[in-house]
Structure 1
Amino acid sequence: MTRMTVLFVHGAGSAGAAAWPHQAAVADPGWQFLTRVGVADDAVRDCGRVLDLLRARGGGHVVASSYGANAALLAAQHEPGAVRSLVLLEPACFDLARGMPAVEEHVAAMTPVFAVADDVSVPDTEFSRLFAAATGMPPPDLPEDELREATRRLRAIRPPWGLGLRDDLRLPVRTLVVTGGERPLYEETAEALVLRGARHVTLQGAGHRVQDDPRVLDVLRQHWAD
Structure 2
Amino acid sequence: MDVVFVHGSGSAGAAAWPQQAAAAEPGWLFLTREGVADDAARDARRLLAWLRARGGGHVVASSYGANAAVLAAQIEPAVVRSLALLEPACFDLARGEPAVEEHIAAMTPVFEAADDASVSARDFSRRFSAAMGMEPPDVPEEELQARVSRLRALRPPWGIGLRSQRGLPARTLVVTGGGSRIYEETAGALVALGAQHVTLEGAGHRVQDHPRATQVLRQHWIG
TM-score by length of 1: 0.97
* Counterpart for residue 20 of structure 2: 23
Match of 2:163 among 166, 190, 194: 166
Find the residue that maps to 1:81 and give its secondary structure.
Answer: helix
Q: 1:221 and 2:218 equivalent?
A: yes
Match of 2:204 among 207, 213, 219: 207
Segments ≥4 residues shifted beyond 2 Å: none
Match of 1:71 among 60, 68, 76: 68
Aligned counterparts, 1:81-160, within 5 A: 81-160=78-157
In 1, Cα distance between the equivalents of 2:116 and 2:167?
40
In 1, Cα distance between the equivalents of 2:43 and 2:206?
20
* Counterpart for residue 187 of structure 2: 190
Computed over aligned residues only, the root mean square deviation of the Cα atoms, in angstroms, reads 0.8
Which residue type is aligned with residue 94 of structure 2? Answer: A
| 1:169–1:196 contact (8 Å) kept in structure 2 | no
Q: Which runs of 5+ in 1 are unaligned?
A: none
Find the residue that maps to 2:77 and give its secondary structure.
Answer: coil
Match of 2:48 among 33, 51, 56: 51
| 1:174–1:198 contact (8 Å) kept in structure 2 | yes
Q: Deviations over 1:20-78 (max 9, x none)?
A: 11100110111000010110000011100010111111110000000000000000000
| 1:83–1:173 contact (8 Å) kept in structure 2 | no
Structure 1 residue 220 displacement after superposition = 0.4
Find the residue that maps to 2:21 and give its secondary structure.
Answer: helix
Find the residue that maps to 1:119 and give its secondary structure.
Answer: coil
In 1, Cα distance between the equivalents of 2:194 and 2:35?
34
Structure 1 residue 169 displacement after superposition = 6.6
Structure 1 residue 172 displacement after superposition = 3.2
Find the residue that maps to 2:24 and give its secondary structure.
Answer: coil
| 1:22–1:212 contact (8 Å) kept in structure 2 | yes
Find the residue that maps to 1:207 and give its secondary structure.
Answer: coil
In 2, Cα distance between the equivalents of 1:137 and 1:197?
32
Q: Which runs of 5+ in 2 are unaligned?
A: none
Find the residue that maps to 1:47 and give its secondary structure.
Answer: helix
In 2, Cα distance between the equivalents of 1:80 and 1:214?
30
TM-score by length of 2: 0.99
| 2:20–2:214 contact (8 Å) kept in structure 1 | yes
Q: Deviations over 1:108-147 (max 9, x none)?
A: 0000000000000000000000000001111011111011
| 2:82–2:169 contact (8 Å) kept in structure 1 | no
Q: How many residues align?
A: 223
In 2, Cα distance between the equivalents of 1:210 and 1:141?
23
Q: Deviations over 1:69-123 (max 9, x none)?
A: 0000000000001110000000000000000000000000000000000000000
Find the residue that maps to 2:175 and give its secondary structure.
Answer: strand
